[in-house]
Structures are given as structure tokens and as C-alpha cells.
A = this chain, B = another copy of it.
Amino acid sequence: MKVAVLGCGLIGVSWTALFLVHGHDVAVWDPSPTARDGVADRIALPMAQLVELGLGKGRSRGRLISCAEPEEAAQGVDLVQENAPENVPLKRALYTRVDAAAPVDAIIASSTSSLVWSDLAVGMTHPQRFVTAHPFNPPHLMPLVEIFGRDPATVSRAEAFYQDLGRRTVRLRRDAVGHIANRLSSALWREAVNIVADGIADVAEVDAALVHGPGLRWSVVGAHMAYHLGGGPGGMAHYLSHLGPSQERRWSTLGKPVLTPEVCDLLIAGVEAEAAGRSVAELEAERDAGLIATIKARDIS
């Protein structure tokens, strides 16, 4: 297969490594020649990590092709993965260009995290072939891809494409800002900020509680299923009838923090204490090692 990657930032590079390891030829484009010419070097680490995970085993690597224009990248592709900045007019203009250049049955997929299908598809000649396909950072390691589109056949084809890359696809019934994962992340972080702002615990303690408690459990069992198990043999029905009212009371007491300068200072000082001198690059390397160990152990990718 041939895939076009439009936008060669962190997410575009991550997708490129994943596609190449699975044997797809990848035509990359970015308005910055430096960015697109740097892809060859920047894919080295993610490709090595993917090989460590055993992805693409037995497949020969695809070819990396650098293109000066998006139309050139879209020639003869099966799928376009767009990773441009989160700006509706900019993305729409790009779709107009590739919509005309790509084969009529090619899927056009957006990695957008904060924009929605209905806003992005406006003006497309073939909106039925457009989907949002949102990965979770770091995209080459995280199995999740959240998909929404209006044409069920296109959505099914997109799901099959990403599943072949070892991804776990999730289908939305309707488009929503933040899809599922970022809505859940935002809701949790609001309370995580509140706990710090309200003096209940420090940043590092909140993070440690999450990693060794709910986070660890949510890497195995979803939030709904956890309450089903919490209900004992009667499951979710028993849980809701016995503890539903107390959950609603708990919801009403959750915080509504504001990111005032004081709260921001607490958060910044708190993560600095948690980082304990480790740079962002060192912390990312530790994160990747932890993710790789977990994914290998659980065989979830």
C-alpha cells in the first residue's frame, strides 16, 4: 500500500514509522522543507521501538518518499493521514488540494484531537471518504485510534487499515470535541488540578496515586467494567441501585478549579519536584520504556 503523511511534526513522524514498519510506502509532505527532509532521521527511534515491540514482523520495510507538494504526496495513495496544525481553514484548504489529487477511493483521515468531522468535512467534494482517526500520544506506541466518519463502509475500511497496524480502533457514534480519550483525560485532570489547588495532596502524590491505583487498573479494566465488578455478582445493576446515589453526591462535590497564576505556579513547581532534575527527554524515554514493557507483557499491540 501507499500512504501520504501530511504534516511532519511529532504525530506525522510517529505515523510514518508505524506505516513503514508494516511495509507501506510513505509519501511525506510538510510546508517546511527542513521538517520533511528531517523525517528520515527522526523515524529512527520510533522504528526501533516498534521493532522491539515485534510489530511488522516478517514484512519488508516500506519506502520513504519526500514530496514538495501535498498533491504529489497524494498520487496513487490508499490513505492520506493529515497531521496539520489544529486550524479549520488550514485543514480544509489542504483537503481541497488532496481531494482532487488522490484516487477517488482513497481514504482521507485526520489525526485531529480537538476538531470535529462536521466542521472539517465542509467543502469536500467526496466527504464520504473522510474520517477523523485520532491517535493517542505517543502515537506509534499507544494502541488506540478513535475513528468517526459518516459513511459506514469507509469507517470499516479505515478500521481494517489501522487494525492491520496492530492498532485498537474505537468507533464513535457521533463526532464530539475531544472524542472519547481526551474528554476522559480532561475530566480526570480537572479533579487532579483541584486536589492540588485545594491542598489535599501535592502534584507528585496525585500522580503516584494515579499510576499505582486507578491508572494501573484502567490499563486492564475500563471504568464502566470496574463498577460492574464493584457490584459483585449483581454487577452494574446492583452497583447503580446501591451506590448510584452516592456517586451522584460525590460528583456534586468534585472541584471546579481555575488556572489562576497561583494554581499554575503550584502545578509547575509540583511537576518540577516530581521530575527531580530529569529533563523532558529523559522523562519521555522512561515513559516509552514503561509503555513498551507493559505492551509486551500484555500483548495488547
Query: Chain A binding site: helix, strand, loop or mixed by DSSP?
Result: helix
Query: Does the CB pair B247–A212 fall under 8 Å?
Result: no
Which of A189, A219, A264 gathers the greatest number of chain B CB atoms within 10 Å?
A219
Using A208-B168, A224-B270 as known contacts, say yes or no to A186 and B254 having CB atoms under 8 A apart: yes
Distance (Å) between the CB of A193 and the closest chain B CB?
8
The copy count of this chain in the complex is 2
Interface size class, chain A: 35 or more
Query: Does the CB pair A235–B271 fall under 8 Å?
Result: yes
- Contact residues of A with B, CB < 8 Å? 114, 136-137, 142-144, 146, 168, 170-174, 176-192, 195-196, 198-203, 205-233, 235-237, 240, 244-248, 250-251, 253-254, 256, 258-259, 264, 267-268, 270-272, 274-275, 280-281, 283-284, 287, 290-291, 293-298, 300
Query: Could you list 19 A-B pairs, sorted by A, with CB under 8 Å?
Result: A136-B213, A136-B214, A142-B216, A143-B213, A170-B201, A173-B202, A180-B195, A180-B206, A180-B209, A180-B210, A184-B209, A187-B188, A211-B218, A215-B222, A216-B218, A229-B283, A236-B268, A236-B271, A240-B264
